Amino acid sequence: MNDHRRIIVFDTTLRDGEQSPGASMNQAEKLRVATQLETLGVDVIEAGFPAASPGDYEAVKAIADTLKKCQVAALCRAAKNDILRGWDAIKNAAHPRIHTFIATSELHMKYKLQMEPADVLKQAVESVRLAKTLTDNVEFSAEDGSRSDPDFLCTVFESVIEAGATTINLPDTVGYAIPEEFGNLVKYVMENTSNIDQAILSVHCHNDLGLATANTLAAVKNGARQVEVTVNGIGERAGNTSMEEVVMTLNTRPNFFPQTTGIDTTKIYPLSRLVSMITGILVQPNRAIVGANAFAHEAGIHQDGVLKNPMTYEIMKPETVGISTNSLVLGKHSGRHALKAHIQEMGYELSEDEVNLVFKKFKTLADKKKRIQDEDIEALINEGVLRSSEVFTLEYIHVLSGNTVFPTASVQLMINGRPVQGSLEGTGPIDAVYNVISKLTDTKSELLRFTISALTEGTDAQGEVTVRLKEDGIVALGKGSDSDIITASALAYINGLNRLEYLKAHPPKEERLV
C-alpha cells in the first residue's frame, strides 16, 4: 500500500460489463476473457455476482480456480447469505477478494432500501466484519456514493475501514457527477476520513453523461488509487469507465499524471477485439484507442504530416496498444504450425483440439481468399472456439434470389443433434432465411437490429453480421461471419437464438449494482 504512484486496475467486464443488454457470456467465454485480462496485467478481476444465479456462481468459481496472478473478486450485497455464497465461489483463488456493497444516498436509502441511515451503517459494518472473518482482502462500496451526503459517506467509510475493509469504493452509480465536482468529493473523503491511510480509495464511474473516464481521472488526480473499469467501456445503460482510455491517458501523459499501472498496453487491442466478438457489441469506428479509425488519417495535410513524422498527428503509436501494422502472410499452402504460432502472437492460447478446429476452417477460407488478415483469423476463432453452448447449428443453406424470382431459402439445421430442414419465401434472401430458421427452431424472437460490416478491405472480405434479438423481455446479441453475407446472416441469427436459449436458462440479473 506504500506506492502511491501505482494505480490498481480493477476490471469489472465480467460483472458490470456483462450487464450490457444481451451481453451475457457463458462460463467458457468468461474464463477465456479472464485469462486474457490476467495476461493484460490487471490487478483485480471482478468475476461476477455468485448469489445471482447458479450459472454465475459456477463461472466465478471456475475463474477463481484457474487464475494464478490476479486477485479474483466476488460481488456480494451487504447480506450474510450473499457473502458466504461469494466466499464459497472464490475461496480457492490464489488471491480472493470479497466486494460487498450497500447504498448510501438519501434517495436509495429512503426509496430502494427503505432503511434509516443508522441501520445502513450498521449493516455495512456487520457485512465487512463477516467478510473479514473469511479473508483479509475486503472491499466495500457505497452505492450511489456521488449523490450521498459527504459527511455520512465519510462516517460509513471510517466505520467499515475500522471493521476491516482494505479498499473503499466511491461509485458514481448513475453517471451523474461532473469531473470537478467528483474530484472535490474524492478530495473531501481523503481529508475527512480519519483512517483513510489504512485503506485504498477506489472509484467506479458510469458513462451516462459521457464523463466516466474524465471523472475517474479527476479522482486519480485527487488521491484515488484504484480505478474500476471495463474493456471497451461496456456496461449497463451508457457503459462504464473505459479501461483503455484510462490506462492510455496515464501512459501518454506522464507529465500530468505521474501514476502508472501494471498493464501491458500492447495487449489492449487484441483483448478489445475478443470482448467485442464474445459479446457481439461492436466497437464504433471513431472510438478512442481501439476504434477502426483511431489511427486512420484521411485528410491530405494529416497524411503528409504523419508520413514525415507520425507524432504530428498521432499522440501514440498503433503498436503501443497492440494494433499490428503487418498483414498476415498466410495462404492455402500455410501449415498448421505457422497458423498456431501466429494465433499465439495475436494473444490467443488455444488447446490442440481448438487449433485443429480453427485450422480446418482456415483452409476452407484460404481456398476463397488469397490474403488472410488478423481479423479473418479472429473471426474463425470466434466461429470455431468462442461460441456459446449451441442448441442450434447450421448444416447447409441454399438461396434462390434475384429481380425475376421470388426469394426462397432452403435450410437444414441440427437441433440438439437432430437434423431438421425446410424451405420458405421472403421479401429478400435474408428474410427468407430468417423465416425458415424461425419456423424450424419454433422461436418467436423479434429482430431489433441487423448490422453488416466488412472485416477487411476488398470484395473478397469476410462479412460480419450482428443482430439483436428480443424474446419474452430478454435481449440477446448474435454474431456471424463468412465470405458469403447470407451465410454470415444465418450464422448471426442462429448465434443470437443460442444466446437466447442460454439466457432463458440463466436469467439476467434484475438489480442494478454499484
Does residue 22 surpass a pLDDT of 70? no
Q: Model's pTM, two decimal places?
A: 0.85
pLDDT at residue number 178: 98
Angle between helices 485-505 and 429-441 (to 10 degrees): 30
The pLDDT value recorded for residue 355 is 85
Helix or strand run (H / E) with residue 413: strand 408-415
Q: How far apart are CA 158 and CA 172, in angstroms?
A: 19
* Cβ neighbours, 10 Å, residue 87: 19
Phi, psi at residue 498, to the nearest 5°? -65, -40
Q: Please check whether the domain covering 8-279 is classified as CATH 3.40.50.300.
A: no
Residue 277 pLDDT exceeds 70: yes
Check whether 176 has a pLDDT greater than 80: yes
CATH of domain 392-505: 3.30.160.270
Distance CA 258, CA 320 (A): 19
Question: Which CA distances in Å does 42 have to 227, 288, 437?
Answer: 11, 20, 41
490 versus 475: the higher-pLDDT residue is 490
Calpha distance 244→432 (Å, rounded)? 41
Domain boundaries, the chain: 8-279, 295-322, 336-384, 392-505
- Compute CA distances 483 → 122, 388, 459, 488, 506, whole Å: 60, 22, 9, 7, 33
What single-letter amino acid sits at 395?
A: E
Beta carbons within 8 Å of 452's beta carbon, 6+ residues apart: 463, 464, 465, 485, 488, 489
pLDDT value for 330 = 61
Please name every residue paired with 71 in a beta bridge, in sequence order, or none if there are none.
44
Q: How many helices (H) and strands (E) does the chain have?
A: 16, 14
pLDDT tens digit string along 371-385? Answer: 677 777 877 777 666
Residue 301's pLDDT is 47
Quote the percentage of the chain above a pLDDT of 90: 64
pLDDT digits (tens, 9 = 90+) for 52-103: 989 899 999 999 999 999 999 999 999 999 999 999 999 999 999 999 999 9
Torsion sign over Cα 123, 129, 135, 138: positive
Q: What are phi and psi of 369, to 5 degrees?
A: -120, 140
